[in-house]
Amino acid sequence: SIVEDKSSPCSKFQERRFWSAVKLLSNVLLWNGIVQEDMVRDLGLSKLLNRYLLLNLLNTPPGLDNVEKCNKVVACFPERWFKDLRSGSTLPELLNFCQHLLQ
Using a CB cutoff of 8 Å and minimum separation of 24, what contacts does 98-103 make? Answer: 100/54, 100/57, 100/58, 100/70, 101/70, 103/62
DSSP secondary structure letter of residue 77 = S
Q: What residues does 32 pair with on adjacent strands?
A: 35
DSSP secondary structure letter of residue 63 = T
**With 50 as the cut, is the pLDDT of residue 92 above it?**
yes
Domain residues of the chain, as ranges?
9-102
For residue range 6-61, list pLDDT tens digits in order.
788 888 898 999 999 999 999 999 998 899 999 999 999 999 999 999 999 998 88
Task: Give the number of other Cβ atoms within 10 Å of residue 72's Cβ.
Answer: 16
